[in-house]
Structure 1
């Protein structure tokens, strides 16, 4: 694991500073960074603004709901599987370690990592695709944009002077650290700037939320991401790639011994490129896989025994340490010492590390995600979302959560009401989506989705 820089003492770190003066001489953060959209006075001056941000996310209802939302396999699939909540906790642990090694405020990174999946709807990416179809005429649905909407509008915590909800009212720096795709739909980097096709189709804010988003991005050039957001994004990839492979092995969906069969690795590489794009060559991905399996901690088989379970858990720890150490060292070599915060530095991910993470993500696709794409359960999940959208739009808003009814009543047209319906469905868990569907539509109530 990387060697973390010593953190300043609490008395020197993030205590409030007089207006107009730097936030902290050794923190790398300014008073501009810790401003809130609606100004607040600190009730406890011993708590830093970023500690308050982390606490607000940790105690939010949106975070609690992730405990019953699909990560890769549904929460009802097995007691062992990870949910969106456990995944978010693991991302936060990875992010905190990497952030501390770079001098980022650990509570800020923690808050961003805990928040990164708040906007995901029930049924994981399958649900996200279904809601995007439902919202096609009003700007679509995007989990990252929904996260910003939750943090700045939907999660009940703070109000502006006119009584309008402003979500958790996090600091500017914490909100920016959640912005994985800091641009509106269609405004992301083009192919000449970034060859990753994901960055050309993803976005991080709906047009209706641009006011607070623009406030958050004050002083930031173009679509540049802050280093804390880059740490969050990489930590998500590391946790996803490593832990989903762990789940796949533990649940018998990925047999390590099978990967020694002729042609199996070649097929894994091709599946990776089919799912994630062909920017990385097959040879590079094959070499990345060979580097991973040649490590002394790689497991060659798995029987489910206590000894094998311990080796599997050690594999996940070693892989996380391998990736975090490589990125921390490369970033330090490029940017030097001292706190690397906000827009003063960029994360450096060695090409070998990026390829190793990508091929592990490909393994999760091949052995877990892709085989489920044609399962009847996926169709049932999409049907539940489509049915709910239809029945809620046909209603008068009375069955919506009380917190959403005012927005329904204030909506000027069907487009405005549809966005409220999308907010409602996105807030549901896998369990409550089935329950709502059984109550309002009367079908599939007995079939786990």
Structure 2
């Protein structure tokens, strides 16, 4: 077992956070409880901003361009923006703490929503895409909030803390899309297209998310844990940004635990996005109503977030790798159930629910394993790299899933997604055997 400031020692490399000056005992526990409350509040408030515009972004692009095929660009650009901004926000967290990194993410997203509103008022299409790219910062901040939950958590409670922040995303995901109607009412007096009204709510929600983090996330969990500090912003031995990123990648490559967590996290996300994004198309082609399609996606979202506290407890009690393996088994089961459903709707809905549960398992356990398997000197950069990889693979999965669906059908898409589970499963088993 190594100290928090030293590189991980193979094969486990799990951090202990015992470096001098780090909060300990009752003080640490009290700050951790406060940190979780603040992060959950920020996720709920700002998450409403994401949920409200995700359901209307594609409609707005279609309204401005008159092209249904371009409507999907909104989600793609938000995902791409999250991938591009994850590392800079992580670097900012390292230099100035979580308040700066997370808060800046919410502010950049608010600026992006303002750009969308101005462009929609002018009827200009290209600036809307720029705004969507900036809104990706909200996704990046959302993802990095889960790591902030583990900065001061005790080793046996890290997955549980992370899972609570993941769970809080449920509120925005469920309630946000229901703001489409009120958004249209707001849009009319402002001279905006109907779908643009929800972006007004997004601006308010993102600014409130920044305000919650900026004013209440004190003391800063990352700085209190002795991980990030302005005095060490240049990294070990005065390394620059590019050198730190290369060192972080080498650090992950040298740790079987970190590789296992990263691979499970990234590929699990790719599987989920690929299948989920094309399920509405498959159901519509088989005559499902919009209410059935909406219900299926709602059940999928419930599987992703609602059960995450139970997943976190399991990861703390049973171990990270067993829960990762469980999640991969659930993902394979989900693709088998949905892929063989044909025109039947209930197996697709059940498969999408299990797809969400499997994603929750690999995300909670994989993120926790990755975060605790790297030394403090590289942790923020590794977290940023993992989120970048996660979003890039998700974007690729969403982009190519339509082609696979068209060429090989929904069953072929699920079969291809199941194959993606194999590398992370093999790596997890290798990690178990190496430790033994």
Q: TM-score range by the shorter chain?
A: under 0.3
The structure richer in helix per residue is 2
**Which one has the largest radius of gyration?**
1
**TM-score w.r.t. structure 2 length?**
0.27
